[in-house]
Amino acid sequence: MPKLSSIIDAQQFDHETLLRVLEIAKEMEEVKSENSLSGKIMTSLFYEPSTRTRLSFEAAMKRLGGEVISTENAKEFSSKAKGESLEDTIRVVSGYCDVIVLRYHKEGGAKRAQDYSSVPIINAGDGAGQHPTQALLDLYTIKKKFGDIRGLKIAMAGDLINGRTVRSLSYFLAKHFPDNEIFFISPSRVRMREDIKEYLDRYRMKWNEAENFDGLLSQLDIVYQTRVQKERFEDDQAVYEEVMAKSEELIIDRQKLEKMKEGAIIMHPLPRLFEIRYGVDKDPLAKYFEQARNGLYVRMALLKMVLADF
Ligand code: CP
């Protein structure tokens, strides 16, 4: 198994490495903390807001005995505000630390950073591109619930054209777990992009597309709900308003919950806006807060695999 270095996208993972991430994450969930990264420094460099990704990576590093340096709003508080390029920032910051966790507002940001970094880069979300570490924690959550990731009907719902988490999750499922079926549920303006559908076809993974959940809820094992990404519609307010109006149909409320099959789960990468009603949270089907907690264990596993010698 090659050593895990930078984590840029979902497609880079071979099956052995993916299974190892899930295995080490399970160990991390059991031990909760250890000292394997003592003396190592992680930089979190976030050009877009984050609660879960930044804080779980920082907590993960500290739980492994490492140190963290960070700028939480790099657009405003790094030299980006003075006009410095991503490439120059990365050249400099990589001289201060052992790994950089980067969230960038434009697709391809992590790849650009990797080309100029002397240390591994971990993609913590690049615009509407990918969010591979989120998809890994999604897979960990699915595996914990179902054991085998096989024979499942998985709906991905919401603003799919801009959703980087559903893109990364689709790549992982197609390459490693094609024996499942995906249902893309979204308003027509924000359908899943063609590149993902082509990738699913290449791995002969079954997929379907619809604009609502009609007739589907009773057969789904997983409803993976997502929010409308307001920040990606800055230049098109009319489309944003249309998508918001159509998204009302997709809201998971008590009525929809009652139509779901026994043993099914609801996931969401969070943050949640209105697309899952608060009244759903206490139902045993609601797994999104557990999913967010799993992020800590998966990110501990990833930091160990990138930084520790084993
Ligand atoms: N799921 C996720 O990426 O959340 P944050 O934006 O809070 O990091």
Which residues, in sequence order, are bridge partners of residue 70? 44
The pLDDT of residue 310: 60
Pocket-testing residue among 44, 47, 48, 51, ligand 1, by greatest number of atoms within 8 A of Cβ: 51
> Mind listing the pLDDT tens digit for each residue in 2-29?
789 999 999 999 999 999 999 999 999 9
Kindly calculate the radius of gyration of the chain based on its CA atoms and give it in whole angstroms: 19
* pLDDT exceeds cutoff 80 at 76: no
Ligand 1 atom nearest to 55, measured from its CA: 8
Active-site residue flag, 131: yes
Name the amino acid, one letter, at 153.
Answer: K
Cβ 122 vs Cβ 4: under 8 Å: no
Q: Is the distance from the beta carbon of residue 268 to the nearest atom of ligand 1 less than 6 Å?
A: no
Ligand 1 atom nearest to 49, measured from its CA: 6
- Upper half-sphere CA count for residue 230 (Cβ side, 13 Å): 8
Name the amino acid, one letter, at 78.
Answer: S
Active-site residue flag, 103: yes
The pLDDT of residue 62: 98
* Distance from C-alpha of 282 to C-alpha of 280, rounded to nearest angstrom: 6
Q: Roughly what angle, to the nearest 10 degrees, separates helices 52-63 and 288-307?
A: 50
Q: Provide the pLDDT confidence category of residue 124 given band limits of 50, 70 and 90.
A: very high
> Mind listing the pLDDT tens digit for each residue in 239-292?
899 999 999 999 999 999 999 999 999 999 999 999 999 999 999 999 999 999
Ligand 1 atom nearest to 48, measured from its CA: 6
Of the candidates 54, 80, 131, 268, the residue annotated as catalytic is: 131
Whole-structure pTM value: 0.96
Pocket-testing residue among 46, 47, 50, 126, ligand 1, by greatest number of atoms within 8 A of Cβ: 50
* Distance from C-alpha of 135 to C-alpha of 281, rounded to nearest angstrom: 21
